[in-house]
């Protein structure tokens, strides 16, 4: 995968994007990241990239010219690649989620445009295929949001994670929160690993994990249960879980 990033602060990506899983993907030639400072494309003699909004208002807006010209240069450099998705980081965009990360991971080329200041001249958004928000809050710029989205996307690329089963089992990948997991020792200060995980019966382990995922989701994110397709066995497990909750309350 090739990822291009347009940012006024390219140094923000020099460290984080070369560590951990993303850094390993770059080392293994599974990922190529280029960061472009779109200030370099300003036609203004002072290299300004922002100006006051027409009609008045607080703050400064990013002007279209530097970003349009930076995108043209990126397109020229990547002629051999499909155009791919162009993602503008914007608080008014669609909320980022796991499904979006999966869609991004299916592309061979992504471009992230990181905003700053008060926002974008609206014409910049004509460059984008996607307007995406990290959440219902405002950051100083789009750089941190881009890093989060890149990390969530890159770990889904084939060959990036050592265990190919890791990503599909993550929270949200199945629509449910992930089941509890344990490592050695089996008994740590009186806190014991559930016996079912020690008996080697993979069918029972799979059933236990499914029930625990349903239980954790019901406890912490019940809204997710309305968004996924559950089968008859899942509904039976949910009834069991609700009875267990009821018994715990009675005690």
Feature table: binding site for S-adenosyl-L-methionine? 115, 134-139
Q: Is residue 222 annotated as part of the catalytic site, yes or no?
A: no
Annotated binding residues, written as ranges, equal: 115, 134-139
185: cis peptide before it, omega within 30°? yes
Rounded Cα gap, residues 86 and 130, in angstroms: 6
Cα→Cα distances 47→3, 37, 43, 102, 159, Å: 25, 11, 7, 37, 41
Q: Is residue 91 annotated as part of the catalytic site, yes or no?
A: yes
Catalytic residue among 69, 118, 151, 234: 118
Q: Is residue 85 annotated as part of the catalytic site, yes or no?
A: no
Catalytic residue among 16, 91, 180, 221: 91
Distant-in-sequence contacts of 8-12, Cβ < 8 A, 24+ apart: 8/37, 8/38, 8/39, 8/49, 8/114, 8/116, 8/141, 9/37, 9/114, 9/116, 9/141, 9/143, 10/35, 10/36, 10/37, 12/143, 12/144, 12/147
Catalytic residue among 151, 170, 178, 234: 170
Strand partners, 111: 4, 86
Decide: 138 and 91 in contact? Cβ < 8 Å: yes
Give the residue numbers marked as catalytic.
91, 118, 155, 170
């Amino acid at each position: 995968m090739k990822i291009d990033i347009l940012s006024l602060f390219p140094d923000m990506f020099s460290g984080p994007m070369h560590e951990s899983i993303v850094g390993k993907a770059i080392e293994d030639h599974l990922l190529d990241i280029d960061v472009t400072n779109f200030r370099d494309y300003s036609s203004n003699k002072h290299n300004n990239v922002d100006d006051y909004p027409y009609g008045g208002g607080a703050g400064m807006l990013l002007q279209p010219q530097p970003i349009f010209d930076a995108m043209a240069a990126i397109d020229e450099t990547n002629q051999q690649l499909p155009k791919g998705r162009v993602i503008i980081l914007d608080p008014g965009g669609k909320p980022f989620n796991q499904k979006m990360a999966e869609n991004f991971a299916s592309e061979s080329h992504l471009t992230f445009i990181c905003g700053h200041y008060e926002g974008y001249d609206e014409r910049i958004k004509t460059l984008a295929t996607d307007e995406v928000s990290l959440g219902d809050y405002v950051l100083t710029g789009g750089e941190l949001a881009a890093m989060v989205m890149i990390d969530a996307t890159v770990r889904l690329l084939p060959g990036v994670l050592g265990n190919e089963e890791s990503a599909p089992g993550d929270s949200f990948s199945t629509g449910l929160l992930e089941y509890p997991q344990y490592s050695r020792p089996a008994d740590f200060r009186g806190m014991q690993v559930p016996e079912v995980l020690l008996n080697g019966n993979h069918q029972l382990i799979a059933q236990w994990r499914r029930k625990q995922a349903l239980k954790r989701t019901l406890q912490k994110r019940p809204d997710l249960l309305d968004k996924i397709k559950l089968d008859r066995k899942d509904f039976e497990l949910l009834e069991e879980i609700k009875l267990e909750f009821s018994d715990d309350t009675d005690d």
